[in-house]
Amino acid sequence: MTDDLHLDASDATRAERATTRVVVAMSGGVDSSVVAALLARAGYDVVGVTLQLYDHGEAAHRAGSCCAGQDIYDASEVARTLGIPHYVLDYESRFREEVIDRFAASYAAGVTPIPCVDCNRTVKFRDLLATAEELGARYLATGHYVASRALPGGGRGLFRAAEEARDQSYFLYATTAAQLDKLRFPLGEMQKADVRALAAEFGLPVAEKPDSQDICFVPGGDYAEVVQRLRPEAGEAGDIVHLDGRVLGRHKGVLHYTIGQRKGLGIATPEPLYVISIDASRREVRVGPREALAVRAISMADVNWLGDLPFDAALDAETEVYVKVRSTRPPVPARLGRTADGAPAVHLALGEEGVAPGQACVLYDAPGAGARLLGGGTIVKAERVAKAVAEVA
């Protein structure tokens, strides 16, 4: 196995594996359950851990929820089926602080957050890794579809999953080199269909369970209700302004908008208009034609770099990379560089639309399945192709 967790008897003796403790982050879904089953069958000392992350009363029985009441029960049932110990940890307060509060604050500031990234880099890979070490574990294994491999020069790297449609590397760009030494992802080389087949083979009670949704803490999918409850100012009305200065109408709060949005603007115009920028301080949503969305340069903050070269050297060398600016989009060619004030940036070979501050700019060494994740950062600002609208970027 590329992740060094040997699941074949020829790879390591069962006695050796029996002395290697692996904590498995069990969300109650099919993927992490299969990871636990594979490791238990291989003879590792497996301990299942499930995190209670938020008040699950409203979401306990909602299909597609995660880390809520039903999921905790399901994880417990899987652990019982496998005969492994299972613990439920109350991380609710830290999840609220690190993920939910940041999520609401981002929308109030007019930027579009990615709560899964915040969750992975704080609650799951920072805090849960510390707990795994306290339990005496050598590894923390998860059900993410991403591959981890030893690098020729030492250390480990992250690589896109074999099944591109399932690849979750975009949400894991903030994983540090030190964390990679302890993390393992046994499903990175597998297909989802094979994982479900294994779940049935193991007789797991979650074999047919639907996949969880991205925003696990939003009951019914109404994120606006969550944001407005925590940050009421994000729901204050303001103007919808065309790039040419015309006021076209009123909106019901900046929390309802993101860059590139076309539907739900609440205005009637002869030509299609898109959200180009959001000025939360003025409570303005600025709209314009589609061509105003095209971006050629993106500046980043809070960059996590996993490449071989030091990051500054990679910037100075204008290293060629491939960039994802949305989780659902394919990587596109770009090169590293700096802005006029020296901030890290990527320069896209072609214009990219819908680039929103707060989202992630994730870097790879190639465009397809198996590409190495080089790192990424939070999008701060985008330089648009149309010079006439540069001031609203």
What residues act catalytically?
Answer: 119, 216
- Quickly list H helices, the chain: 14-18, 30-42, 69-82, 92-95, 101-108, 115-119, 129-134, 177-180, 192-201, 223-230, 311-316
Residue with tokens 């007019």: 110
Nearest CA among 133, 34, 35, 128 for reference residue 88 = 128
Closest CA to 104 of 211, 234, 1, 287: 234
Q: To 10 degrees, what angle do helices 30-42 and 69-82 make? A: 20
CA distance linking residue 283 with residue 256, whole number of Å: 12
Neighbour count for residue 31 (Cβ, 10 Å): 25
How many other CB atoms sit within 10 Å of the CB of residue 359? 23
Asked if residue 373 lies in contact with residue 160, where contact means CB atoms within 8 angstroms, the answer is yes
CB 391 within 8 A of CB 297: no
Q: Are 111 and 356 in contact (CB under 8 A)?
A: yes
- The phi and psi torsions of 173 (rounded to 5 degrees) equal -60, -25
Q: Which residues pair with 324 in a beta bridge?
A: 362
d(CA 35, CA 170): 21
What is the C-alpha separation between 367 and 293, in angstroms, rounded? Answer: 23
Each residue of 205-219: b (16+ CB within 10 Å) or e?
Answer: ebbebeebeebbbbb
Q: Three-class SS of residue 5?
A: coil
Q: What is the DSSP letter of 21?
A: E
Q: Which residues of 85-121 are buried (b: 16+ CB within 10 A; e: fewer)?
A: ebeeeebbeebbebbbebbbebbbbbbbbbbbbbbbb
Pairing of strands 156-160, 146-150: antiparallel
